[in-house]
Amino acid sequence: MDTGDTIRLQLVVHYDGSDFHGWQFQPELRTVQGVLEAALSRLADSPRTVVGSGRTDTGVHATGQVACVDLPSRWLARDLRRSLNAVLPRDVWIERVEHVRPDFHPRYEAVRRTYTYRVGTAPEAASPFHGPWCWPVEHALDPSLLHSAAGLVVGTHSFRSLAKTGQPERGYVCTVHQASWGEWEWGMAFTITANRYLHHMVRYMVGTMVDVARGRRPLLDLTALLEEVEGKETSPPAPPQGLFLTHVEYPVDILPDPVRHPESRSSAKA
């Protein structure tokens, strides 16, 4: 990122992932990072790099992705939010812009991330006005089995059996702080908060839990997967369109001295 007479600004980003090849910039492909960088470069009249809190895959959505960018110090948070939303495409929207510390990093300083996965059990879930943002299974799910399954994943476990194959740099152990199922308008939604995630981990969890709740496999299978019992395989992953990154949590010290940037505390209502 830039140095010198610049400020670092944090963006809270919403996007519909349906027409994106994920978050991360890829030449010749439409990505969220690429769209944001193009818009910011246009506004700043110079190339800009956006750093996100993490990657989302093709088809995954966000209502709480966090990113940051360095811009000339003349920019005010409220002005940037207004200008960005004026030039961004309809499937990306900036909820909030705030000044942050010059050395703030949205990925490495995140302490928890929350995802929600929507499963559609009502016939209406298959409508073109709902289906792109949920997994329409159109089958009843046993709520008690879903709640029991969610409780099993809370805590510190190896999630190797519930993730895409391949050795991650930081190993397979993650700490799940909260996991629960609740109702949404057309079905059930799974919400999970953890310190980190393995690739496709939430989607494999949901795919397996839905199979349990439909009576396709016993609840004990999930315990066996967490214990890495030999020969036990996960269910296929749930499709990407039901998954939303909803919140990224940071320590309280990411904001700068409010005397230096008194308008930076919130631009959401600007």
Which residues are known to be catalytic?
57
Structure tokens at 106: 């949205």
100-123: buried (b, 16+ CB within 10 Å) or exposed (e) per residue?
beeebebeebbeebbbbbbbbbbe
Return the H-helix or E-strand segment holding 143.
Answer: helix 143-153
Given the structure tokens 């016939």, which residue do they identify?
123
- Cβ distance 233 to 243 under 8 Å? no
Please classify residue 154 by burial: count the beta carbons closer than 10 Å to its beta carbon, then call 0-12 exposed, 13-18 middle and 19+ buried.
middle
Rounded to 5°, angle at Cα 150 from 112 and 209 = 115
Please classify residue 251 by burial: count the beta carbons closer than 10 Å to its beta carbon, then call 0-12 exposed, 13-18 middle and 19+ buried.
exposed
Tell me how far apart the alpha carbons of residues 24 and 203 are, in angstroms, rounded to a whole number: 19
- Cβ distance 69 to 50 under 8 Å? yes
